[in-house]
Chains A and B, each alone.
Chain A
Amino acid sequence: MKKLSKLYLSLVLLFLYIPIFVMIVFSFNTTKSRSVMSGFTLDWYVRLFHNELILKSLGNTIIIAVCASVAATVIGTLAAIGISRMGKRTKATVMQVTNIPIVNPEIVTGVSLMLLFVFFQARMNLEFGYITLIIAHITFDVPYVVLNVMPKFRQMQPNIYEAAQDLGCGPVRSFFKVVMPEIMPGVLSGFLMSFTFSLDDFVVSYFTSGATSQTLPITIYSMTRRKVSPEINALSTIIFVIVLTVLIIKNVAEKRKTSRSRLAALEESGRRASRRRIIKRVAVTAVVVCLVAGMTILTLGGFETEVPEELAVEDPDYYTRLADKDITINVYNWGEYLPLGEDDTLNLNEEFTNLTGIKVNYSTYATNEELYAKLRAGAASYDVIIPSDYMISRMIKEDMLLPLDMENIPNYKYIMDKFKTPEYDPDSRYSVPYTWGTVGIVYNSDLTDMDEEDIDWDVLWNEEYADEILMFDNPRDSFAIAQLILGQSLNTEDKRELRAAADLLKEQKKYVQAYVMDEIFDKMGAGEAAFAPYYAGDAVVMMEDHENLGFVIPESGTNLFVDALCIPKGAKNKEAAEMYMNFLCEPEAALEIADFIGYSTPNSGAFEMLDEEVQNDEISYPDDEFLNDKCEIFKNLSDDTNQYMQNLWTEIKTGG
């Protein structure tokens, strides 16, 4: 029995700590892989402290957390004083009301605050940003302060406030001299609790942040779109280590104290539960302090960074005309979709500011749908966004984009003709292509000896590779593959055709090992599967780390995707936004972007600067004939079709 309970305990501990252990190990991995440990490096830590977006978001997070928790502590403490002096029944009622925000789902708090702010935005010119975030954070922080301070009033000696007055102190002085020291532990733990809740809040921040104030959790979330970067492992490891250290120090100190006095020990056990919480809060605070310190040290030159050469632009005069206007534009992009100085890349935003005097507020999202929702909510105003093809057609249809003034974007001339007047924006009035790519098949040469030419979409239905096949875990991409086999249009709205594609996917299910998205990297890298569909640009990056992986774009055809720069309605600085777009179309900038993301560039100037080897690479740059004849771009489907496809997809995944 004793053995069993020990085993059980160790299982529980393993369950709790293995994920953290794995994360720590891989934060030192030389490659991005999450399954193969290929060597030891501190690179990710160095990069972490050079990742401008992470540092900026961290800065935002800290500013907001400090402001909100200080304000909440003052408000909450004052509230607790008031509540503690109320009659019994009023007190109970007020406490109930105060506690509602705690039990209320965060999403409700977030949405309702957003609606409130939108209401005031229209009437009082309230900008979404620091102010709205701080107000929102105060809202959910205050109840925790009240909750922490109230018990201190209950535990407090009765009459000590009167006793101080009796001994000659005025009311205010009495409060600070005798009441404050008594409630201080509660105030402090309330403060720390608020601070950490603010620090790691995602949901409420997501709804109430604007273009200027992205917090760390939101940034991290947007980075996960492609793959959790090991920088995040490094960040989490630092946090974990600091928490652990603080805990150990605290526990050792506590142990010493308890062995000193057994009486104290008895008292201790009662308070320990709440103390644990406090310790955790203290720890997180310490983490932040250390991060800030580390940041400062590193930016002060702890590590030497190579400063890349300045970017050459064609017509420098064009960029100076708005220099003295003190303009800031808000750019909303995919996570990790613009070089910002990581890995010795150029920081394009900084370059742009140096060149034009226009400041850039940069924030990130993870999906087209997230971008759409944010714009629809009207909470923040952006000047430049980068949606994908089908989303652009939807936004055009719903009148959410501003037509561009191409005279202001002379570099549009660099956009290859084949990317002009696309189906999603037939007159090229709304979008300037940014990157593009195709979908193909990743294969593991250790697990198959098929020739590349023979690999086509039907390999994903090959019984021989049953359970060695991975498939996309989203309906549109999966249906597209079935549709390619069936020779349908990828944009069909014909329900019979969709049903046929669904049937084909159902048939495939028995061979599929798993439906996954970015885990494809790891599963393929680790040799767990032989074939998987994926996006070309990402596959190229993957192949750099794994020699045994190859990538084919099936000859029968594929889906071509384009992400393009657009200006949403409500943009405040259209001219500056167009200047920014023009800047990103500078051949050298476009080259940096293509290098950084790994996707193909639609910019002819950049293309010409590529190595010949890359220019001729069939994966990144298939020939025009193939692109024209065999590739189809997604268009927006009607809501009805989307819903139908979603239902079929659910049927496929859940059905026997």
Chain B
Amino acid sequence: MENIVSLNDVAVTFDGETILNKINLDIRDKEFVTLLGPSGCGKTTTLRIIGGFLKPDSGDVMFEGKRINDLPPYKRNVNTVFQKYALFPHLNVFENIAFGLRVKKLSEDEIKTRVGEMLKLVNLSGFEKRNIQNLSGGQQQRVAIARALVNRPKVLLLDEPLGALDLKLRKEMQTELKNMQQSLEITFIYVTHDQEEALTMSDTVVVMKDGNILQVGAPVDIYNEPKNAFVADFIGESNILDGIMLRDRLVQFCGHEFECVDSGFGENTFVDVVIRPEDITLAPPENQKIKGIVRSVTFKGVHYEMVVDTADFSWLIHSTRAAQVDSEVGISFGPDDIHIMHKMEG
């Protein structure tokens, strides 16, 4: 597949602060890409650069192989769904959606047809004459999406579009957006800080932090093989411990040596050891290297979330079986469950 958007060494600083640190990113056509990261990581800035609302200080922004650094937003074949929708309050639903088409001076008939199609796509047929202010958040969201998609952009940019919706509605919209993307066969670049949302919808997840891209990959790969402790922690909660890689396949942490499956870290190297809460099983304390006291047990529906304190660490454990608070338990995991990662710089 072709790359539709590429960022080459794109850097942005603002007031002496680095917002984007020479990032490189290739986005393939018809892909659902999610930029994921905590606030301030540069994901929205990246989106604004693609949309044309911000010029990078250096580096190239490529669109279908052409450099578009100097192309203003209104000349780019890209449309945006803004965080707070940015609908035009003085226009009704129909006119909001028709806005881009009117700018292009399409015939009244064509505008009617295309807006009609879009309303159908976002399940708002019959809402043409409605006032924007009288719509619910979810409905406004749909209008915003329709308003962008009606222009048939090659790339749709979405800036945390579901952030203002309640959980149930958000889940529904996630599915709908994914379906839309697949049926329309266009590229979606989606910005969110919600890792679950990212994993659910995306073909590719781009994890960002402090203006850097940490990892790019399919959701499964990112989840299972996080490149470092930050990614691991951000993509689902994790227990992250300081450890020393004694040699290939042997790591030391919590005062004990454990067998693991990783290699290639050299000998006696400081590393991060990541163990996912759901990979830990509770066992009777007698035979275990690590023992601790159960501090809290919270019911989470499918599983219980428990915090177990050992001498130097507080473990997060997910299990379908609940332990007794204040009881002593042993912590057990297999060599497969231990993920070794390079220490992050800084």
A-to-B contact residues, CB < 8 Å: 157-160, 162-171, 173-174, 178, 181-182
26 contacts between A and B (CB under 8 A): A157-B85, A157-B86, A157-B87, A158-B82, A159-B82, A159-B84, A160-B86, A160-B87, A162-B53, A162-B73, A162-B82, A163-B82, A163-B86, A163-B88, A164-B99, A165-B52, A165-B74, A166-B74, A167-B79, A167-B100, A168-B100, A168-B103, A170-B74, A174-B74, A181-B88, A181-B90
CB <8 Å contact, A169 and B83: no
Interface flag for B219 (CB, 8 Å) = no
List CB contacts (< 8 Å) of B84-134 with chain A: 84-90, 99-100, 103-104
Complex: A544 Cα to B53 Cα, angstroms:
80
Given known contacts A162-B80, A168-B104, what 15 new A-B pairs fall within 8 Å (CB)? A159-B82, A159-B84, A162-B82, A163-B80, A163-B87, A164-B88, A165-B53, A167-B74, A167-B99, A167-B103, A167-B151, A169-B74, A169-B103, A173-B103, A178-B88
CB <8 Å contact, A159 and B83: yes
Complex: A206 Cα to B147 Cα, angstroms:
56
Interface flag for B334 (CB, 8 Å) = no
CB <8 Å contact, A157 and B84: yes
Measured between beta carbons, the chain A residues less than 8 angstroms from B87 are: 157, 160, 163
Complex: A158 Cα to B44 Cα, angstroms:
15
Measured between beta carbons, the chain A residues less than 8 angstroms from B148 are: 166-167
Closest to B157 in A: A166
Complex: A182 Cα to B80 Cα, angstroms:
21
Interface flag for B226 (CB, 8 Å) = no
Measured between beta carbons, the chain B residues less than 8 angstroms from A163 are: 80, 82, 86-88
B-to-A contact residues, CB < 8 Å: 51-53, 72-74, 78-80, 82-90, 99-100, 103-104, 147-148, 151
Closest to B53 in A: A162
Complex: A590 Cα to B128 Cα, angstroms:
77
Measured between beta carbons, the chain A residues less than 8 angstroms from B78 are: 166
Complex: A450 Cα to B311 Cα, angstroms:
118
CB <8 Å contact, A182 and B89: yes
| Interface-centre pick from B72, B103, B104 (highest chain A CB count, 10 A) | B103
Complex: A439 Cα to B51 Cα, angstroms:
85
Complex: A162 Cα to B86 Cα, angstroms:
9
Measured between beta carbons, the chain A residues less than 8 angstroms from B85 are: 157
Within the complex, what minimum Cβ distance (angstroms) separates B75 from chain A?
8
Complex: A205 Cα to B103 Cα, angstroms:
47
Complex: A174 Cα to B53 Cα, angstroms:
14
The 10 A-B residue pairs whose C-beta atoms are closest, nearest first, are A167-B100, A159-B86, A163-B86, A181-B90, A168-B103, A159-B82, A165-B73, A166-B80, A160-B86, A165-B74
Measured between beta carbons, the chain A residues less than 8 angstroms from B89 are: 157, 182
Measured between beta carbons, the chain B residues less than 8 angstroms from A162 are: 51, 53, 73, 80, 82, 86
Within the complex, what minimum Cβ distance (angstroms) separates B231 from chain A?
30
Measured between beta carbons, the chain A residues less than 8 angstroms from B53 are: 162, 165
CB <8 Å contact, B73 and A166: yes
Within the complex, what minimum Cβ distance (angstroms) separates A99 from chain B?
28
Within the complex, what minimum Cβ distance (angstroms) separates B312 from chain A?
44
Measured between beta carbons, the chain A residues less than 8 angstroms from B84 are: 157-159
Within the complex, what minimum Cβ distance (angstroms) separates B241 from chain A?
42
Complex: A640 Cα to B100 Cα, angstroms:
79
Complex: A160 Cα to B53 Cα, angstroms:
12
CB <8 Å contact, B74 and A168: yes
Closest to B134 in A: A263
Select one of A164, A168, A181, A182 contacting B151, CB under 8 A. Answer: A168
Measured between beta carbons, the chain B residues less than 8 angstroms from A164 are: 88, 99
Complex: A166 Cα to B50 Cα, angstroms:
11
Complex: A158 Cα to B159 Cα, angstroms:
13
Complex: A168 Cα to B99 Cα, angstroms:
9
Within the complex, what minimum Cβ distance (angstroms) separates A630 from chain B?
79
CB <8 Å contact, A165 and B72: yes
Measured between beta carbons, the chain A residues less than 8 angstroms from B72 are: 165, 170-171
Measured between beta carbons, the chain A residues less than 8 angstroms from B104 are: 168
Measured between beta carbons, the chain A residues less than 8 angstroms from B147 are: 167
Within the complex, what minimum Cβ distance (angstroms) separates A61 from chain B?
34
Closest to A180 in B: B90
Complex: A316 Cα to B80 Cα, angstroms:
82
Measured between beta carbons, the chain A residues less than 8 angstroms from B86 are: 157-160, 162-163
Measured between beta carbons, the chain A residues less than 8 angstroms from B51 are: 162, 166
Task: Check A182/B90 contact, CB under 8 A, given A162-B82, A166-B80, A167-B151.
Answer: yes
Measured between beta carbons, the chain A residues less than 8 angstroms from B88 are: 157, 160, 163-164, 178, 181
Closest to A263 in B: B134
Within the complex, what minimum Cβ distance (angstroms) separates B36 from chain A?
21
Closest to B98 in A: A167
Within the complex, what minimum Cβ distance (angstroms) separates B138 from chain A?
17
Complex: A181 Cα to B99 Cα, angstroms:
14
Within the complex, what minimum Cβ distance (angstroms) separates A152 from chain B?
11
Within the complex, what minimum Cβ distance (angstroms) separates A160 from chain B?
5
Complex: A182 Cα to B88 Cα, angstroms:
9
Complex: A169 Cα to B82 Cα, angstroms:
16
Closest to A161 in B: B86
Closest to B90 in A: A181
Complex: A163 Cα to B89 Cα, angstroms:
12
Measured between beta carbons, the chain B residues less than 8 angstroms from A158 are: 82-84, 86
Complex: A553 Cα to B343 Cα, angstroms:
112
Closest to B97 in A: A167
Measured between beta carbons, the chain B residues less than 8 angstroms from A160 are: 86-88
Within the complex, what minimum Cβ distance (angstroms) separates A280 from chain B?
25
Complex: A166 Cα to B156 Cα, angstroms:
11
Within the complex, what minimum Cβ distance (angstroms) separates A270 from chain B?
14
Measured between beta carbons, the chain B residues less than 8 angstroms from A182 are: 89-90
Complex: A159 Cα to B160 Cα, angstroms:
14
Complex: A301 Cα to B8 Cα, angstroms:
80
| Interface-centre pick from B53, B73, B78 (highest chain A CB count, 10 A) | B73
Complex: A164 Cα to B148 Cα, angstroms:
11
Closest to A87 in B: B15
Complex: A433 Cα to B7 Cα, angstroms:
91
Measured between beta carbons, the chain B residues less than 8 angstroms from A181 are: 88, 90
Closest to B80 in A: A166
Closest to B75 in A: A168
Measured between beta carbons, the chain B residues less than 8 angstroms from A173 are: 103
Complex: A169 Cα to B87 Cα, angstroms:
15
Closest to A170 in B: B74
Within the complex, what minimum Cβ distance (angstroms) separates B198 from chain A?
23
Complex: A51 Cα to B165 Cα, angstroms:
67
Measured between beta carbons, the chain B residues less than 8 angstroms from A157 are: 84-89
Complex: A575 Cα to B73 Cα, angstroms:
69
